[in-house]
């Protein structure tokens, strides 16, 4: 089957090859009516850009890679969707991969092993250490996201994310302002990849201290990972141990859904008996009955910030780039 060329599209529409190229690459100016006509013919002819030729021509492939630990977790799936949408608006294509939080997989990704030519690589690492970043050989522009990445500073490397401690303090403060004084913390971790849990735990303690509420270790519920099953088990453990609580800060919305299930099964009324708040503002939480408040970590803003960093026409200082978070009250 003969490959469709830009010239074939141009001949069909009756315009120059340069005009069609402008539409395909998102460059130059083309009127809306003509652009729609060209796109219609592109679709009809089944034209696909030759990425290798594009890279030889302008030094860019138009490809980015987004690497996350686990796509089954709603936060990562929703962030990936938002990032792809933002990239497509800039005529960029995103390849998505998951690592399972395994160091070997993360090392392969930051070196670009098995990946085509990329204009940028975005990764949420869990197992990498600072030495891995410092000794990295690949020249692919790199942006780190996620709490673990805060501890991987290296020259020329960017990190995008929120102030997790401040966000956790805001979540806990919200419960305190609702009159809650016995606030359980679901998501504490002492082993494995603990950066997220550690920062959110510090924010929890900060809010208690600022409001003169004594810290009570019996209110801490440990988990291995942030998912529904662990949230359910953690809440059950608190109940079975006879711990009294009237509020619950879950370190993720997935943990919150698990805790909410157990509280309901055990006969608790929300928010009368227990008021709960999560973290991540995943879409599912907007349709939960009973509802619960959460922290929105600004995934749309983060997506645009990352793309600006990877845009060679925009100068960005390396280091940490802070994304604003917001409290979502329900």
Structural domains of the chain sorted by starting position, each given as residue range(s) with its CATH number in brackets: 6-49 (1.10.260.40), 63-162+300-324 (3.40.50.2300), 164-296 (3.40.50.2300)
Residue carrying the six token digits 């460059």: 27
Write down the pLDDT at residue 214: 96
For the chain, where are the E strands, in sequence order?
A: 63-68, 93-98, 120-123, 142-145, 158-161, 183-188, 220-222, 247-250, 275-277, 294-296, 319-322, 326-328
Percent of the chain with pLDDT over 70: 94
pTM for the structure as a whole: 0.79
Q: Closest Cα to residue 185, out of 207, 211, 166?
A: 207
Write down the pLDDT at residue 1: 44
Per-residue pLDDT reduced to its tens digit, 190-238: 877 788 999 999 999 999 999 999 999 999 999 999 999 999 999 999 9
Per-residue pLDDT reduced to its tens digit, 23-53: 876 666 788 889 889 989 888 887 766 554 5
Nearest-10 crossing angle of helices 228-240, 253-265: 50
Write down the pLDDT at residue 219: 98
CA distance linking residue 281 with residue 292, whole number of Å: 10
Write down the pLDDT at residue 158: 92
Average pLDDT of the residues in 143-164: 89
Q: How confident is the model at residue 161 (pLDDT cuts 50, 70, 90)?
A: very high
């Amino acid at each position: 089957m003969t490959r469709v060329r830009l010239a074939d599209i141009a001949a069909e529409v009756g315009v120059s090859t340069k005009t069609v190229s402008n539409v395909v690459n998102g460059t130059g100016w083309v009127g809306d009516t003509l652009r729609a006509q060209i796109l219609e013919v592109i679709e009809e002819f089944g034209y696909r850009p030759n990425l290798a030729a594009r890279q030889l021509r302008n030094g860019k492939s138009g490809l980015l890679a987004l690497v996350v630990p686990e796509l089954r977790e709603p936060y990562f799936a929703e962030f990936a969707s938002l990032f792809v949408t933002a990239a497509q608006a800039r005529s960029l294509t995103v390849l998505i991969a998951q690592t399972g939080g395994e160091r070997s997989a993360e090392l392969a990704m930051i070196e670009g092993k098995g990946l085509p030519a990329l204009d940028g690589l975005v990764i949420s690492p869990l197992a990498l250490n600072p030495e891995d970043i410092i000794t990295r050989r690949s020249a692919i522009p790199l942006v780190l996201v996620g709490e673990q990445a805060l501890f991987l500073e290296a020259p020329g490397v960017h990190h995008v994310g929120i102030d997790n401690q401040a966000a956790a303090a805001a979540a806990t403060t919200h419960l305190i302002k609702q009159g809650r004084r016995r606030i359980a913390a679901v998501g504490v971790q002492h082993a494995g990849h603990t950066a997220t849990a550690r920062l959110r735990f510090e924010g929890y303690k900060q809010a208690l201290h600022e409001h003169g509420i004594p810290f009570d270790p019996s209110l801490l519920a440990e988990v291995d990972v942030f998912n529904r099953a662990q949230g359910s088990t953690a809440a059950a453990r608190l109940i079975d141990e006879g711990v009294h609580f009237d509020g619950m800060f879950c370190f993720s919305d997935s943990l919150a859904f698990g805790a909410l299930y157990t509280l309901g099964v055990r006969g608790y009324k929300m928010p009368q008996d227990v008021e709960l708040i999560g973290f991540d503002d995943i879409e599912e939480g907007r349709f939960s009955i009973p509802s619960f408040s959460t922290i929105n970590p600004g995934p749309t803003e983060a997506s645009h910030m990352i793309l600006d960093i990877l845009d060679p026409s925009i100068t960005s200082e390396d280091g940490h780039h802070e994304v604003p978070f917001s409290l979502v009250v329900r």
